[in-house]
């Protein structure tokens, strides 16, 4: 007779509670987890016959995981609670999605792709530095970046209070092709053709951001991109994330979401 498939308790808790495995171990060490009525120990394993409880509430062995990609507008925070007069992005989501946790964060003044899930193991795989998940941003500065400063950041890194900061910077000429393996979340919208209502039928001149760059980074420290440019005397006036790992924000409008596959 086949033995029931067992998994490590911290992995089980991470998946069911939406926490990291380290946080799951902390819950076990704090005595908040029991297995079949007895305090759980680090390294324990469970299967479908185990009665696992967190604060005396049973955690079902079977679970439905949900993953969504959301285009966060500027002016919203990623926390569950509003910060003063600043609303939370959860106010823009249906009630059934408000228990999901964000995978990493974007600050209030930043916009773009944010992932949400109830799968803590997925969140861990997407955010822990050892997995090197690349994130891509469109960054607008208050003035053009000096070539020397661009080289300093990309080749050597800038020393910040929490360690060196290094990332790739590319001048944004209009668009950047998708990286290999990137998944588009929505169909890209096609812009209407320019109208020829100017003098002699000429189309109006297109205006492009004067100091916009593409930043590619695999770290995720708090406000790292903003702090790095600030260390060299620049101000980030806009920061928009377009890609996180294999997920790409193509055509998804601000404040909208789509479900994705892990």
Residues 37 and 119 in one domain: no
| 189 assigned to some structural domain | no
Residues 218 and 155 in one domain: yes
pLDDT at 99 exceeding the cut of 90: no
pLDDT at 161 exceeding the cut of 90: yes
84 vs 260: CA distance, rounded Å: 32
- The number of folded domains in the chain is 2
Catalytic residue among 2, 107, 109, 162: 107
Residues 148 and 25 in one domain: no
Joined together, the tokens standing for residue 251 give 């055509």
If you count DSSP H runs as helices and E runs as strands, how many of each does the chain have, helices first?
5, 18
Residues 168 and 103 in one domain: yes
165-213 residue pLDDT tens: 999 999 887 544 445 555 656 543 333 333 434 444 444 444 444 699 9
DSSP state of 88: B
- Is-contact 20 14, C-beta < 8 A? yes
Domain boundary among 58, 82, 97: 58
| 3-state SS track over 67-78 | EEEEEECCCCEC
Q: How many CB atoms lie within 10 A of CB 150?
A: 17
Position 3 scores a pLDDT of: 53
Residues 32 and 97 in one domain: no
pLDDT at 237 exceeding the cut of 80: yes
pLDDT at 45 exceeding the cut of 90: yes
| 194 assigned to some structural domain | no
- CATH number at 150 reads 3.30.2350.10
Calculate the average pLDDT of the chain. Answer: 85
pLDDT at 52 exceeding the cut of 90: yes
What's the whole-model pTM score?
A: 0.73
- Is-contact 17 59, C-beta < 8 A? yes
Joined together, the tokens standing for residue 178 give 């998708």
Residues 35 and 105 in one domain: no
- Residue 85 annotated in active site: no
pLDDT at 4 exceeding the cut of 50: yes
For residue 249, the enclosing domain spans 67-174+207-259
Per the listing, tokens 């920061």 go with 239
Position 229 scores a pLDDT of: 98
What average pLDDT does the segment 45-66 reach? 88
Q: Which of 152-156, 178-182, 228-232 has the lowest mean pLDDT?
A: 178-182
Position 178 scores a pLDDT of: 47
């Amino acid at each position: 007779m086949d033995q029931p498939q067992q998994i490590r308790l911290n992995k089980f808790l991470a998946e069911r509670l939406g926490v990291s495995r380290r946080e799951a171990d902390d819950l076990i060490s704090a005595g908040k987890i029991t297995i079949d009525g007895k305090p759980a120990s680090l390294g324990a394993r469970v299967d479908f016959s185990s009665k696992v409880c967190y604060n005396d509430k049973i955690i079902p062995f079977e679970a439905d995981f949900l993953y969504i990609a959301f285009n966060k507008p500027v002016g919203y925070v990623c926390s569950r609670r509003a910060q003063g007069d600043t609303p939370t992005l959860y106010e823009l989501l249906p009630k059934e999605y408000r228990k999901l946790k964000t995978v990493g964060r974007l600050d209030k003044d930043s916009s773009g792709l944010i992932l949400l899930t109830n799968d803590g193991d997925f969140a861990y795989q997407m955010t822990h530095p050892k997995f090197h998940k690349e994130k891509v941003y469109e960054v607008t500065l208050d003035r053009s970046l000096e070539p020397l400063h661009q080289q300093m950041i990309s080749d050597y890194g800038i020393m910040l209070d929490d360690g060196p900061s290094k990332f790739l910077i590319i001048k944004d000429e209009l668009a950047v092709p998708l990286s290999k393996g990137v998944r588009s979340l929505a169909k890209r919208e096609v812009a209407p053709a320019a109208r020829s209502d100017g003098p002699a039928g000429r189309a109006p001149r297109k205006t492009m951001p004067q100091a916009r760059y593409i930043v590619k980074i695999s770290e995720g420290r708090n406000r790292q991109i903003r702090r790095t440019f600030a260390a060299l005397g620049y101000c980030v006036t806009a920061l928009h994330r377009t890609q996180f790992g294999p997920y790409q924000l193509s055509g998804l409008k601000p404040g909208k979401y789509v479900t994705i596959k892990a």
